[in-house]
Amino acid sequence: MGWFWADSRTSVSAVPTSSGGKCPVDHKKMASASGSSGCPIDHTKFSQKQGRASDEVLNPLNNMPDDLSSEMAPGQKITLSKTRTMSTIPKGESEGEGVWEYPSPQQMLNAMLRKGKAQDIPEDAVESMVDVHNFLNEGAWQQILEWEYKYTMESKSEPRLLKFIGKPHELSPRAKMYLALSKVFPETFSSQPPFDRHDWTVLRNIGEGTNRTEWKQVRYIIDYYEAPDDEDTGMPAFVLDTRPALDSIENISDRFTHWSVPLWKKAMGESEE
């Protein structure tokens, strides 16, 4: 999931998908619709560096080329949308930089073809891939806003996203711990690893007095897990495990407070409200 595209392991139901392929949560309905057993949202296909042209210039903020073509590819059979969707995620240090923008379905297909990663992906699955991709990123940002809430109240300024990187082949320490625990407590912990990982660098406003735009960089780790399909709708669901990385005393304190306070309130019989 190296494109640009929810506190805790919160379950997120997926948006409806239009057709084709198979998503990371074994989306059987999509597979039967396209007749393909391939996975149209195999996120390793977006983040692997192997096979890239030696002269390809990547944007260091998202590890993607800036010149994503919007033209139909040679031999392409289906017309894909060229419309790019604006996210709700503020970009960079100033309002003038706007928000992050998602690639259009046509750009996504062209990028996959460019890297030789589109052989097993049906063209009619690309728009669904973009929908799910955007949906997960929006959910992840909402979870980050929850983590950042107390700092937002202090500074009266919401956080912004500086950059991100996909690490689908690198398990986070907590993902490794969960996998180890699954061997001892299989009924409590899943033996399935996350299908993707992102590291997002968030800007937190710590300015005071006349300097109201002094930003601190805070790294967040997001593990993406598959979940059982929604019982009511039958739609696929995801679990996003979003938290600050344990690379500062402040982050360690935030994580301890985030999980210990609800446990203490529950033990004391207090309402979660």
Please write the tens of the pLDDT for every residue from 90-106.
Answer: 999 988 899 999 989 99
Work out whether the CA dihedral 109, 115, 116, 117 comes out positive or negative: negative
41-84 pLDDT, tens digit per residue, is 444 433 343 344 445 555 566 555 566 678 888 888 889 999 99
CB 199 within 8 A of CB 61: no
Q: Answer whether residue 5 shows pLDDT above 70.
A: no
Q: What are the Cα distances from residue 238, in Å, to 23, 190, 192? A: 11, 14, 13
214-268 pLDDT, tens digit per residue, is 899 999 999 999 888 777 777 778 899 999 999 999 999 999 998 887 776 666 6
Check residues 109 and 88 and name the one with the higher pLDDT. 88
Asked if the structure places residue 173 within a domain, the reply is: yes
Q: How confident is the model at residue 2, as a pLDDT?
A: 44
Q: How confident is the model at residue 52, as a pLDDT?
A: 42
Q: Rounded distance, CA 106 to CA 13, Å?
A: 25
**β-sheet bridge partners, residue 205:** 215
Q: What is the DSSP string of 67-120?
A: ----SPPTT--S----PPPEEEEEBSSSGGG-EEEPPPHHHHHHHHHHTT--TT
- Nearest alpha-carbon partner for 84 in 147, 27, 5: 5
Q: Which of 154-158, 166-170, 236-240, 260-264 has the lowest mean pLDDT?
A: 260-264
Cα three-residue angle 257-262-265, rounded to 5 degrees: 120
Q: Rounded distance, CA 99 to CA 160, Å?
A: 9
Asked if the structure places residue 54 within a domain, the reply is: yes
Q: Answer whether residue 183 shows pLDDT above 90.
A: yes
Amino acid in the structure at residue 10: T
Q: Rounded distance, CA 46 to CA 2, Å?
A: 5
Asked if the structure places residue 165 within a domain, the reply is: yes
Asked if the structure places residue 29 within a domain, the reply is: yes
Asked if the structure places residue 273 within a domain, the reply is: no
Residue 97 structural domain: 9-267
Asked if the structure places residue 272 within a domain, the reply is: no
Asked if the structure places residue 248 within a domain, the reply is: yes
Q: Answer whether residue 40 shows pLDDT above 70.
A: no
Exposed / middle / buried, residue 17 (Cβ in 10 Å: 0-12, 13-18, 19+) = buried
Q: Answer whether residue 211 shows pLDDT above 80.
A: no
Q: Rounded distance, CA 52 to CA 195, Å?
A: 22
**Residue 10 — pLDDT band, cuts 50, 70, 90?**
very low
- Nearest alpha-carbon partner for 254 in 219, 229, 223: 219
Asked if the structure places residue 196 within a domain, the reply is: yes
Q: How many domains does the chain have?
A: 1
Q: Answer whether residue 35 shows pLDDT above 50.
A: no
CB 94 within 8 A of CB 33: no
Q: Answer whether residue 161 shows pLDDT above 80.
A: yes
Q: What is the DSSP string of 160-183?
A: EEEEEEE-TTS--HHHHHHHHHHH
Q: What are the Cα distances from residue 256, in Å, to 89, 241, 264? A: 26, 15, 12
Q: How confident is the model at residue 25, as a pLDDT?
A: 36
Amino acid in the structure at residue 68: L
Helices (H), the chain: 28-34, 44-47, 105-114, 126-147, 149-155, 173-184, 249-267
Q: Rounded distance, CA 170 to CA 198, Å?
A: 10
Q: Rounded distance, CA 1 to CA 46, Å?
A: 5
Q: How confident is the model at residue 73, as a pLDDT?
A: 81
Check residues 25 and 67 and name the one with the higher pLDDT. 67
Q: How confident is the model at residue 147, as a pLDDT?
A: 96
